Every structure is written in structure tokens, then in C-alpha cells.
Chain A
């Protein structure tokens, strides 16, 4: 039994392979997206486009898993215990809030919360894990893991650059994040499923197609309408929740202190 009771701050290395995995994951995601935009596979019109569907599914999922493998070992225990809570909150708050207000998904409140409190790596890990676990209940969400990782990552980035210091900046940051996430996730809906996951969004896509758009651009436009609004609401709710937390809890997050994530509180 080793009985050294203290830890030296100099940690052993091993970060290089993880960096490489993160880079590989990002490249795979962006590369797949660019390839799909350039080639604009129209195979769907003639057949089912099985090859494209399979490739998109696998590439998006693989990218998400690479990103997860890259960040997971670096997440501290305090954040690890928080992630399951965030995942459960995604589901439960999503159901509860969604039941009151229909047209948005609101399924990423927990992920954004973690991004705000623990930074973009933890946010990304939460996004991917949440999707993997949720896929046990709804297998079709699997390829959306990359988009979920992006949500968490962008939430962390926004918090780092001060989007929470003023409460009205949070929905703005959400809006911008929604644009990016919507665009990146559109190929999954278009090429893997050939449609969206709901009737409302499907009607929107159908309308765009009636105007003569290709399937891909119709789905992208639909995503550009739904996602930013959704993320703006989610970022706002998550920001309000963060401000409701006791100071002793928020200040225990290294990320919150280092980047001065929160502005001055009113009432204290």
C-alpha cells in the first residue's frame, strides 16, 4: 500500500494521445460535413442512398466517441458526479418544460448547465454521454451525439468569454450556438432519416421543398429556424438556474473562478 498522503502537482503526461483523439474527432466531423455539402448526394431521389446514410451515421457517431474518449479522463471527480445529474435533468426538465411549451425540444438544459459551470470539455462530454444513454430509450438519437457535444462545448466557450456576466447575453450566445449546431446536425436528418423526428418540423421541411429547395437545404433551413430559438431559451433558463445556485457551490468550480464566469449578483 502506497502511503504517500499527498499529491504532487506535476501530473504525469499522457495528454498527447488525447489531444490527437480530439483533433481526429473534430476533423472527422467537419470533414464529413464538408464532403456532404460539396458532393450534395442526390441519391435519395433515385434510391435510398444507403451508402450515404450509413457513412453519415457512422462518421458522426465515431466523431462523438473520439471526442468523449479525449475529454473523459481529464474530467475531475466533482464534475463527474455532476454529469449524471445533468443528463437526468436534460430528460426531466425537457419533459416538464416541454409539456408546458410545445414547439421547442429543450432537451439540453443539463448539458448547457455543465458547460457553464465546468467548461467546454465537460460540456462536450456531457453532450455525448447524454446522447449515448438516451439512445437506450430512443436509438434514433445516436448520430446526433456530435451535435450534442457541440452544444456543451459552445456553452462552455460562451461562459468562458463572459456570456453569463450579463443575463441578456446568454440568449444571444444561445442563438449563435443554435445556428452552428443546427447547420452541423442537418445532414443527419436529411441523409440518415430522410426527414425530421417530428411532424411539426417535417411540415416545415415540406414547405421549403414545395418552394423547390433540395432536401438537404430544406432541412438546413428548417434547423436554422428551430435550433437557434431552442438554444436561446435553453441558454437563458440555464443561466437563470446558475444564478439561483448558492455562491459557495458555484465558486467551488475552478472554471467559474478562473474565467470569472458570473457577474455580480444582485441581492447579495
Chain B
């Protein structure tokens, strides 16, 4: 089996979409769990297990907390009450519902993040550029991803410069406002000015391309992958439709 990082980025995304729609439509917890475990196994093979777990936990934990509060406490119906505190009662059915909802969110988070971790950024951008999408899209994705670390570095530099410049700003709301102003205004000013300065040079280099455009970078693709993508997309649409229809007739 080829490693995911040798696949065309669109193949990875198409497969992920199919897995996501089918799992969500099925709403069957063993399946969701299996998908998550599968993702973790793949992550191990790509040596990004730790990162995947950490990033996922960061998103899933607060969402689960919210779901727990919203459902576990108020699901009506005959269900054993596990704990009670005033008007709030924790029911077994509610807990189960919250867990299933969390599982559904977790599948989305884990599959999505795994894609983001295994797909090479520059290959994805090249693939977007070579596709029929407008040429602006590739630039915007690429520029944003490269700006994020640059602006954090700049933010750090501004913090240093300002720290040197003044001993103290006031406390309370005024001090808070002053601190935000000191650090955000130079950042916004500098980066907007920089963007305005870059624009004519990009235009001079022919961006965005008016006619056909090409890329020096090749994104390896194959007939098998093209077929695979097509099948995955059909599954992504037909799978949930089939599952939901069956559900309706059986239920």
C-alpha cells in the first residue's frame, strides 16, 4: 500500500470525504470508533500520532464538555437518573447521547486533522494551481500558510521593541487597551503596508494569470488514483443516501 504522502492530495481528500459522510450518516458507534482507531494507526505509520492526539484533544475536549452539559442533563424519557442536583439530573440516556454526538464530532476532527498532517502543503497548493480552481485560490492558501509563522515572529519582535520602549502602562481597562494598541497597531500597520507594497510586484509578475497557467512543480498522479477519486466521491454521495433511506424503511 502506498504511503498517503505519496498520493495525490486530492485522492487523500476524496477518500476522507467519503469516510466522513458515510460514518456520519451511519451514526453507528462501533463504526465511528473503528474509523478513529484506523486514523490513529495511519498516524503512527506517518509518525504524527502525538501531534494528532494533542491537536484533536484540544478541539474535542471543550466540544464534549458542551455536549455533556447540553444533553446529559436534559434528555427526557424513561432513563435511570444517575445523579441529581436541584433541577439538573444526569441520566444514562443523556450521557449516552452526548457520547455518541462527541464521537461524531471526533471522527470529523481526527480525519480532518490527519489529512492536514499527512498532506504536504506545497504539493496541495500545486495541485490546487493545476486544477480548474481560479488561480487566486492557490495563492491565497499558500500566502496565508506562509504568513502565519511570519506574523507570529513579527508579533514577537514588536513585543520586544515595545518592551524596550516603555517601562509601564497603566493597569485596569486603560492599561489593557494600551497594551493591545501597542502590539496590534504596529502589526496591522506593518503587515497591511507590506501587502500593499507587494501587490504591484505580483501584478508585474503576471499574477493572477489571465489565461492558462502552469506549474514547475509536478504532482504525481495516476489513472488508478483518478478512478479511486471518482469512486470515493460517488460513495461520499451515494453512501449516506443509501444508509438514510434504509434507515427510514427499517425504522
Determine direct contact between A and B, CB below 8 Å.
yes
Q: What separation, in Å, do the CA atoms of A176 and B63 have in the docked complex? A: 27
A129 at interface (Cβ–Cβ under 8 A)? yes
| Chain B: minimal CB distance from A129 (Å) | 6
Looking across the interface, which residue of chain B has its beta carbon closest to that of A207? B69
Q: Find residues 111-128 in chain B having any chain A CB closer than 8 Å to their own CB.
A: 111-113, 116
Measured CB to CB, the nearest residue on chain A to B62 is A198
Using CB atoms, name the residue of chain A closest to B240. A54
CB neighbours (8 Å) of A246 from chain B are 189, 193
Q: Quick check: is A201 within 8 A (CB to CB) of the other chain?
A: yes
Interface band, chain B: 35 or more
Does B151 contact A88, Cβ atoms closer than 8 Å?
yes
Which residues of A are found within 8 Å of B134, using beta-carbon distances?
Answer: 69, 72-73
- Residues in A neighbouring B97, C-beta threshold 8 A: 44, 48, 194
Known: A85-B192, A196-B66, A244-B189. A77 touches B199 (CB 8 A): yes
* B202 interfacial contact with A, CB 8 Å: yes
Residues of B within 8 A of A247 (CB): none
B208 close to chain A: CB less than 8 A = yes
For A47, A84, A132, A196, which residue has the most chain B Cβ atoms within 10 angstroms?
A84
- Please, which residues of chain A bring their CB within 8 A of the CB of B208? 77, 80
User: Total contacts A to B, CB within 8 angstroms?
Assistant: 211
Residue numbers in B under 8 Å from A142 (CB-CB): 112
If the complex has contacts A82-B192, A84-B140, A199-B66, are A206 and B185 also in contact, measured as CB distance less than 8 A?
A: no
Pick from B67, B74, B75, B198: contact of A202, CB under 8 Å: B67
Question: Are the C-beta atoms of B65 and A199 separated by less than 8 Å?
Answer: yes
- The A42-71 residues at the B interface (CB cut-off 8 A) are 44-45, 47-48, 50-51, 53-54, 57, 69
Q: When chains A and B are docked, how far (Å) is the Cα of A246 from the Cα of B186?
A: 12
Interface bits B93-125 vs A (CB < 8 Å: 1, else 0): 000011011001100110111001000000000
Chain B binding surface, main DSSP class: helix
Is B155 on the interface with A (CB-CB < 8 A)? yes
Contact with B along A190-228 (1 / 0, CB 8 A): 000111111101110110011000010010000000000
A33 to B67, CA, bound (A): 22
Q: Determine the residue in chain B with the shortest Cβ distance to A238.
A: B188
Q: Tell whether, in the assembled complex, residue B66 and residue A89 are in contact, meaning their CB atoms are under 8 Å apart.
A: no
User: Is residue A161 contacting chain B, with contact meaning CB distance below 8 A?
Assistant: no
Give 1 or 0 for each of A93-112: 1 = CB within 8 Å of chain B CB: 10011001100000000000
Residues in A122-156 with C-beta less than 8 Å from chain B? 129, 132-133, 135-140, 142
Q: Check if A245 is an interface residue, CB within 8 A of chain B.
A: yes
A78 interface residue per 8 A CB criterion: yes
Asked if B1 lies at the interface with its beta carbon under 8 angstroms from chain A, I say no
Q: Are the C-beta atoms of B76 and A81 separated by less than 8 Å?
A: no
Q: Which residue of chain B has the shortest Cβ distance to A93 in the bound complex?
A: B184
Contacts A72-B136, A101-B176, A137-B55 given; indicate if A244 touches B185 (C-beta within 8 A): yes
B67 contacts which chain A residues (CB < 8 A)?
193-195, 202
Q: Which chain B residue shows the least CB distance to A252?
A: B196
The answer on a CB contact under 8 Å between A48 and B191 is no
A75 in the interface, Cβ–Cβ < 8 Å?
yes
- Knowing A47-B27, A48-B100, A54-B25, the reply to whether A193 touches B105 (Cβ < 8 A) is yes
Instruction: List 8 interface pairs A-B (beta carbons < 8 Å), by A numbering.
Output: A78-B199, A81-B195, A84-B140, A88-B151, A96-B184, A140-B63, A210-B88, A246-B193
